[in-house]
A = this chain, B = another copy of it.
Amino acid sequence: MERTLLKKLKWLPESIEEQNIIYDSPKKGRDELEYVILKSVNLIRQNEMVHFYKLEPDRHIPKHGHDFIEVFYTCKGIVQHIIQGNIVNVKKGELLFMSQNTVHEINPVSEEDVGVYFAFVPEFFHQINAMMEIDNTVAEFIFNSLLGSDKKTSYFHFQTATNKRIHNLIENMIEIILSGKQSSMKLLQNTMLLIFLEMIESFEESYKNEMKQINGGNVMEVINYINQNYKNASLSELSKEMHISVAYLSQMIKKTQG
């Protein structure tokens, strides 16, 4: 990330009242199953669609849920999330999308690690979905999962560390939000649309690369695995477990779904 933007982030206020609810939550209930659900109505201002937030160093963020879609990005260093027992290390330049009902916690980060998150009202992604105008399985699967009302956990960990174009777009998204202009919603949505188009393109590439390594046996394994588990797991987790690409996986999902 560009140094001037990192500096800007350094001086950004870190928490608002609603966020303190998370920090204080363990005092209220230490039960494993008990956790706070953050509400967009408290975090995101009226008539706005997004709230932007920077991780505070040296603080553990206890298990919590949210009624919004969270997009997490690591600007510098590494940030460790725990999502339903899965450790997800989001490294510099990587993205983590979490659906409305994903419950997660975040381990403390050092002064050297910079993580930011965007809290979007679901309507924002409904609109991006409508703007896509392409018939693409990966996109369809991601949108359905993120927006799904099935109360299932869905998260997508995108290994975008080497995609400079996505970093530029995230920088732009942060700058647009920091500018604090209402008029910028169109800019913000078109930027997120481009991030999605970039992610889809990189899926398709890795799909082409890895197709050669796939044999018939693997395909059945994937289909079985997906049938049993995919609703609770992330695409990247699955693809890692199966040693195949995310795009290939999504093709399988399409086939099994009929």
The reply to whether B184 and A175 form a contact with Cβ atoms under 8 Å apart is no
- Residue from the set A4, A5, A169 with the largest chain B CB neighbour count within 10 Å: A169
11 extra interchain contacts, Cβ-Cβ under 8 A, other than A4-B164, A181-B201, A187-B194?
A134-B186, A164-B175, A165-B176, A168-B169, A168-B171, A183-B201, A183-B204, A187-B198, A190-B190, A190-B193, A191-B194
Interfacial residues, chain A to chain B (CB-CB below 8 A): 2, 4-5, 134, 164-165, 168-169, 171-172, 175-176, 181, 183-184, 186-187, 190-191, 193-194, 197-198, 201, 204
The reply to whether B183 and A190 form a contact with Cβ atoms under 8 Å apart is no
- Top 3 closest pairs, chain A to chain B, by CB: A168-B168, A165-B172, A190-B194
The reply to whether A2 and B164 form a contact with Cβ atoms under 8 Å apart is yes
- Number of copies of this chain that the complex holds: 2
Residue on B nearest A204 in the bound complex, by CB: B183
Residue on B nearest A168 in the bound complex, by CB: B168
Q: Which residues of B contact A175 (CB under 8 A)?
A: 164-165
- Residue from the set A134, A172, A176, A197 with the largest chain B CB neighbour count within 10 Å: A172
**Closest Cβ–Cβ distance, residue A207 to chain B (whole Å):** 12
In the complex with contacts A172-B165, A175-B165, A197-B201 CB distance below 8 A? no
Cα distance A62–B197 when bound, in Å?
40
The reply to whether B168 and A172 form a contact with Cβ atoms under 8 Å apart is yes
Cα distance A236–B191 when bound, in Å?
27
Q: Which residues of B contact A191 (CB under 8 A)?
A: 194
